[in-house]
Amino acid sequence: MAARRERRRPEERRQEIIDTALTLADTLGLDRLTSRDVAQAMGVTSPLVHHYFPTVDELIVAVFQQHAENQLAAEHRVIEGLPPTEALRALVAQQLGITGEAARLWMSAWVAAPRRPALAAVVDQQMLAGLKLLTMLLEDGMAAGVFHLQDSRASAFRLLVLIDGVLVQKSMRAEATYGDVPSLVWDTVEREVGLPPGSLNSRPR
């Protein structure tokens, strides 16, 4: 007698699909992910996946959005209650510490977004949320008199462009091959906000 398939609540099954797709996205890339891939990995049929996500674009959006929102929530948690300088140190460290898998998912989303308008909208939304978080942090530092800069949003944008560049490198290789890249980031962040060298990341000079 064939074993009966475990029945799960709709929200559990939907989450299982997203989690499976997230795992596959690391090797396949978001742009190459298909409902059939996810169904095969789960041991179910494609119609089950389509029941929860009628199009693969909807599934891709759900996968990226969950990942990006979890990352943003972690960034909010790591700076909560900290004074501006400590919060900036914690946030930059959090972003520099992103895993290769997480970096590859962002890279995959950037590559796929121009051909997938729904994904592009979510990518833009999440990038703006990160920009808003850093801008608010810099404004808090300016109000406290510890950061010295002209335009908090412009500074936040420049810093995120730099950190995103490191993220691209992480998506491509396991180890940095161009010297002490983290020190470059720390030095640039300190200069951008007007802090003395070594204020955020003490190290031999």
3-state SS, one letter per residue, for the chain: CCCCCCCCCHHHHHHHHHHHHHHHHHHHCHHHCCHHHHHHHHCCCHHHHHHHCCCHHHHHHHHHHHHHHHHHHHHHHHHCCCCHHHHHHHHHHHHHCCCHHHHHHHHHHHHHHHHCHHHHHHHHHHHHHHHHHHHHHHHHHHHCCCCCCCCHHHHHHHHHHHHHHHHHHHHHCCCCCCCCHHHHHHHHHHHHHCCCCCCCCCCCC
Domains and CATH numbers, the chain: 57-193 (1.10.357.10)
pTM of the model as a whole: 0.87
Q: What is the pLDDT of residue 8?
A: 76
| Residue segments in the chain with a per-residue pLDDT below the cut of 50 | 1-4, 204-205
Q: What is the Cα–Cα distance from 88 to 68, expressed in whole angstroms?
A: 20
Q: What is the pLDDT of residue 100?
A: 81
Residue-wise pLDDT tens digits, 97-147: 888 888 889 989 999 999 999 999 999 999 999 999 999 999 999 999 999
Q: What is the Cα–Cα distance from 129 to 145, expressed in whole angstroms?
A: 25
